[in-house]
Amino acid sequence: DNVPNYFGGSIEAAGNVTAYSDIKLKTNIEVIPDALDKVSKISGNTFDWNEEKQNTYNGKDYGVIAQEIKDVMPELVDTRDNGYLAVKYDKIVPLLIESIKELKKEIEELKSK
């Protein structure tokens, strides 16, 4: 099967949405380096959707800028057939986890002085 990895409609789920995370399915596992530095280079934003450019979304929303994410972690951004960039939002979570841990370490070091 040659199934595309893009679906143009909305997806609604009544239950949990899960993905494989089992360590048995992974190799070459490494902690994300310099996570806090990476997070510092991206922004969380409020914005209004440009309804002249697309008709899927409208009104005020929250999100990131794909170009910023691409500069920091290019594998988290796909270019769609229409040329627009799309972010794999779920893949940002590990980055946030590691950046919080880096902040915690910095705080603990400052407290111990």
DSSP β-bridge partners for residue 62: 46
Q: Which residue has the higher pLDDT, 1 or 17?
A: 17
Q: Which residue has the higher pLDDT, 6 or 47?
A: 47
Note the pTM of the prediction, 2 decimals: 0.80
Find the mean pLDDT for residues 79-84. 92
Q: Per residue in 82-109, is it b (16+ CB within 10 Å) or e — as a string?
A: eeeeebeeeebeebeebbeebeeeeeee
pLDDT of residue 20: 83
Task: Count the residues in the chain.
Answer: 113
What phi and psi, each to the nearest 5 degrees, are found at residue 61? -150, 180
Distance, in Å, from the CA atom of 35 to the CA atom of 72, rounded to the nearest integer, reads 10
- Flag whether pLDDT at 68 surpasses 60: yes
- Flag whether pLDDT at 50 surpasses 80: yes
Name the average pLDDT for the chain.
90
